[in-house]
Amino acid sequence: MHIFNVNADEANGKRITAADVVQDADMMTISKKVNNLRNGSQFQPVVLPVNEFLSLVPGSSPELAFSPGAPVAPGKPGVIYINEGTQDLYYWNGASFVLLSPANAPELVYAANMGAFPVGDPTKMYIANDTKYIYQWDGMAFVQLAPPDGAGQFEVGSGGTSSAQQKNTSSNAGAAGAFAAAEGSANGTNSGAINQGSNADGNNSTAVAQGQVDGTSTNSFAGASGSVFNNANESAALAAGQATNAQSFAASNGVAAGASSTAVAGGETTSDATNQFAANQGSIARGQNSAALAGGQTEAFATTGWSCNEGTIVRAPNSMAGAGGQTQMFANNSVALGNGANTSGVNAFAGGSGTAFGDGSVAIGTNTNATEVDSTSIGKGGSSNGVGSVNISTGNNNAFGDGSVSIGNNSITQASAPNSIAAGWSAGAGAPNSVALGGAQVLTLGFGAIAAGSQGTTQAAGTQSLAASGGVTQQTGDFATAVSNGVAGATNSFAASAGAVRSGSIGSCAFNGGFVDVNSQYAAAFGRGEIKKSYAFTNGYIARATRFGEVAQGGHILNKGFDNKNFKVILGRRAVGNTELFLNTYLTSERLVLVNKSFFGFKISISGRNIVTGELFFAPAIRGIVKNDGGVLSLVGAVTNDPYVGDAGFVANFAYTLTPDAGTQSLRLFCDYIGAGVSINWNATVEGLEQLW
Band of the pLDDT at 118, cuts 50, 70, 90? Answer: very high
> Do β-strands 412-413 and 566-576 pair in parallel, antiparallel, or remain unpaired?
unpaired
Q: Are 440 and 451 in contact (CB under 8 A)?
A: yes
Q: What angle do CA 632, 637, 642 make, to 5 degrees?
A: 125
> Do β-strands 97-100 and 89-92 pair in parallel, antiparallel, or remain unpaired?
antiparallel
Dist. CA 630–CA 324, nearest whole Å: 87
Q: What is the DSSP letter of 259?
A: B
Which segments of 31-116 are extended strands (E)?
A: 63-67, 79-83, 89-92, 97-100, 107-111
Dist. CA 582–CA 183, nearest whole Å: 122
Tens-place pLDDT, residues 235-267: 999 999 999 999 999 999 999 999 999 999 999
Dist. CA 344–CA 669, nearest whole Å: 80
- Checking if the pLDDT of 26 tops 60, the result is no
Tell me what pLDDT residue 56 has. 61
> Do β-strands 579-583 and 666-673 pair in parallel, antiparallel, or remain unpaired?
antiparallel
Among residues 533, 561, 530, the alpha carbon closest in space to that of 545 is found at 530
Tell me what pLDDT residue 578 has. 83
Dist. CA 626–CA 93, nearest whole Å: 156
Tens-place pLDDT, residues 314-344: 998 999 998 889 999 888 999 999 888 899 8
CA atoms within 13 A on the CB side of 621: 8
Higher pLDDT, 399 or 564: 399
Dist. CA 522–CA 543, nearest whole Å: 9
Contacts with 445 (C-beta within 8 Å, 6 or more apart), sequence order: 431, 461, 462, 463, 475
Q: Cis omega before residue 74 (within 30°)?
A: yes
Q: pTM above 0.75?
A: no
> What is the average pLDDT score of the chain?
79
Encode 84-120: b = buried (16+ Cβ within 10 Å), e = exposed. Answer: eeeebbbbbbeeebbebbbebbbbbbeeeebeebeeb
What residues form DSSP beta bridges with 689? 566, 601
Tens-place pLDDT, residues 267-289: 999 998 899 999 998 889 899 99
Average pLDDT value for residue range 224-228: 92
Tell me what pLDDT residue 231 has. 92
Q: Are 553 and 645 in contact (CB under 8 A)?
A: no
For 630, other C-beta atoms within 10 Å of its C-beta total 8
Q: What phi and psi, each to the nearest 5 degrees, are found at residue 116? A: -95, 5
Among residues 338, 334, 335, the alpha carbon closest in space to that of 366 is found at 338
Among residues 394, 396, 425, 429, the alpha carbon closest in space to that of 415 is found at 429
Average pLDDT value for residue range 382-402: 85
- Checking if the pLDDT of 142 tops 70, the result is yes
Tens-place pLDDT, residues 629-681: 999 999 999 999 999 999 998 999 999 999 999 888 888 999 998 876 788 99
Tell me what pLDDT residue 89 has. 79
**Helix or strand (DSSP H, E) at 648:** helix 648-653
Q: Are 103 and 88 in contact (CB under 8 A)?
A: no
Tell me what pLDDT residue 546 has. 39
Average pLDDT value for residue range 122-141: 84
Tens-place pLDDT, residues 409-468: 888 899 988 999 988 888 888 899 999 898 889 998 889 989 888 766 788 888 999 988
- Taking CA atoms, 417 is separated from 267, 407, 444, 459, in Å, by 51, 15, 8, 15
Contacts with 237 (C-beta within 8 Å, 6 or more apart), sequence order: 211, 212, 220, 221, 222, 223, 226, 227, 228, 243, 249, 250, 251, 256
Q: Is 302 helix (H, G, I), strand (E, B) or coil?
A: coil
Tell me what pLDDT residue 418 has. 93
Dist. CA 76–CA 67, nearest whole Å: 13
**Helix or strand (DSSP H, E) at 428:** strand 428-429
- CATH 2.60.40 positions along the chain are 566-692
Average pLDDT value for residue range 18-40: 34
Band of the pLDDT at 530, cuts 50, 70, 90? Answer: low
Most confident range (mean pLDDT) of 99-108, 223-232, 504-513 is: 223-232
Average pLDDT value for residue range 99-111: 70
Most confident range (mean pLDDT) of 22-26, 455-459, 474-478 is: 474-478
Q: Is 453 helix (H, G, I), strand (E, B) or coil?
A: coil
> Do β-strands 551-552 and 544-545 pair in parallel, antiparallel, or remain unpaired?
antiparallel
The fold for domain 566-692 equals Immunoglobulin-like (2.60.40)
Higher pLDDT, 149 or 595: 595
> Do β-strands 666-673 and 592-593 pair in parallel, antiparallel, or remain unpaired?
antiparallel
DSSP characters for 226-242?
A: -EE-SS-TT-EEETT-E
Which segments of 474-615 are extended strands (E)?
A: 481-483, 487-488, 494-496, 500-501, 509-510, 515-516, 524-525, 530-531, 544-545, 551-552, 566-576, 579-583, 592-593, 598-610
Band of the pLDDT at 584, cuts 50, 70, 90? Answer: low
For 548, other C-beta atoms within 10 Å of its C-beta total 22
